[in-house]
Chains A and B, each alone.
Chain A
């Protein structure tokens, strides 16, 4: 089987979110989900190249959902307790749900906590194993100022996405890539 083909990476930051409009749900999402959704948007055309149940989503959430967790827990003293809407996003994998809903992707899903080093290898493995024909990969990392102070890290807010599919060199705007070497 030929090596999976991979697109260039699309990178977005918080400033891109402030001007974005991606449907009525977008404004209610947490920042991590907004960034992930925005980063994935340019690859929507590729999703038509396979049945939607054959497109997987691989997400790497840098520090998990901790920035949203901190924001949610800040609201604990409010009348009625913390926000149920925000509680929905206190999971590192929340962005998978939003991507799946927007693009009607019903295939497998994976969410790692940590860096995005594993994404290409895992996406390629899903395709080689026959579990998917394509995989949208996203690394989203949000460290709010409040969280940064808590975990002694630098603030961050960005997402990087790319799309991997079965090797078809004729697809435009695709390079070829070997999975990252195993550690």
Chain B
């Protein structure tokens, strides 16, 4: 592995399918959906109350921080990172009455070995960066302040995404570069790209990339106004699909300089992004922008299209998005599209966390040599790829995965993962 390869060293997650990487791994194997009715969003104000809620305590006043913290703790523990003078330990002191999420391993005796081991490495805190991906940060505080509810200083502070990033970096000992990325639903992939760039240009040796967005009346009201929600829960690529389902998650991936990760390691091989330059909320019908992003990623990764083993789609379940993605895949892969599936029927659309948690799922898929299914898909639409994967299946080879996301403002992102084993 070249020194400036960027490897994935540890992951952490909390989502609609449970707490921790092992819960997500089980959900992938069982094709589970975490979408449920949520009483907080019942009533005529919202198009539906079927959402992907994570296991946080009800009415948490700083859900963005809680979700991100949980994911970071697990990712760091999995990485077994050591700094020169002291172990890298998360804050254990609740602030402002916040409930500390369970530490990884607590209550779960069947803890799988970490993704990779860095026991022989030490990375100085000044060489550890943090990139936060979020669209709304702690928007709960805006709702609370507007309704006259009490709001802690930290919850108010974390209304501002860059302050949430700064506090997470301080809390978890990342004293290197800190960036806050917010590019709609492509934020997660862009954040991973930024983390990789920081390592490749020598600004950091490790970067914690964390994505977070929490369920909120703010977001549900907006999607309701756009009539963009599926009343019975999203059904990506289904012929009867009619909208998305909001979700929430905290997901973290620790990226490290390639030479610090033992072999074989899963690496970020290339990426690309583009803009449709067409419409603020609707994708271009022909998928030209996403096609451009995919080709840029393939070019950067020095791969041909036929070397992609699996595509993890954005797959929101809206009529236009899924049709656009299918069109882009046809353009890039022609009649030989690799297996494709989408996970928003499992997790909901987690906005700023989507790119991170869905990439994390791809990492698990590589580990397990498992093609993820498409939860809640019943009957594939006519224009979807024939290689659409409905239920999970084992494969012998999963070396190159292409991850896609698209977002408001015409943004498109494509990321390629590599696993040589």
Please report A residues at the B interface, Cβ cutoff 8 Å. Answer: 52-53, 57, 61, 63-64, 66, 69-70, 72-74, 76, 80-84, 87-88, 90-94, 96-98, 100-101, 103-114, 118, 125, 129, 131, 150-151, 182-183
Contact = CB atoms under 8 A, between A and B. Distances in A.
A57 B180 CA distance: 16
Contacts of B221: 76, 81-82, 87
Contact of B162 (A70, A84, A93, A114): A114
Interface in B275-322: 275-281, 289, 292, 296, 300
B409 A97 contact: yes
B135 interface: yes
B159 A111 contact: no
A113 B182 contact: yes
B260 to A, nearest CB: 19
B280 A98 contact: yes
B411 A151 contact: no
10 contacts: A76-B217, A76-B221, A88-B281, A92-B135, A94-B280, A100-B276, A105-B275, A113-B180, A118-B179, A182-B177
For chain B, what secondary structure do more than half of its interface residues adopt (helix, strand, loop), or is it mixed? mixed
B201 A106 contact: no
Contacts of B181: 110-113
B274 A107 contact: yes
Given A100-B410, A113-B162, 17 more contacts: A66-B142, A69-B139, A73-B218, A83-B225, A91-B409, A93-B184, A94-B408, A94-B409, A100-B276, A101-B278, A103-B277, A113-B165, A113-B180, A129-B197, A150-B142, A150-B159, A183-B203
B182 A92 contact: yes
Contacts of A92: 135, 161, 182
B107 to A, nearest CB: 35
Contacts of A113: 160-162, 165, 180-182
A158 to B, nearest CB: 18
Contacts of A63: 160
A109 B45 contact: no
B143 interface: yes
Contacts of B103: none
Given A107-B274, A111-B182, A87 B280 contact: no
A69 B139 CA distance: 9
Nearest to B151: A150
Given A109-B411, A151-B156, A80 B225 contact: yes
A64 B182 contact: yes
Given A96-B183, A112-B179, A112-B180, A72 B222 contact: yes
Contact of A183 (B45, B143, B177, B279): B177
Contacts of A151: 156, 159-160
B280 A110 contact: no
B180 A91 contact: no
Contacts of A104: 277
Contact of A101 (B146, B180, B190, B280): B280
Given A76-B221, A82-B221, A105 B139 contact: no
Nearest to A153: B160
B318 to A, nearest CB: 15
B25 to A, nearest CB: 32
B137 interface: yes
A114 B180 contact: yes
A64 B203 contact: no
A91 B177 CA distance: 23
Interface in B383-400: none
A177 B292 CA distance: 30
A109 B218 contact: no
A146 B95 CA distance: 27
Contacts of B160: 63-64, 66, 113, 151
B190 A110 contact: yes
A118 B162 CA distance: 13
A76 B201 CA distance: 45
Contact of A106 (B161, B177, B184, B275): B275
B63 to A, nearest CB: 16
B171 to A, nearest CB: 18
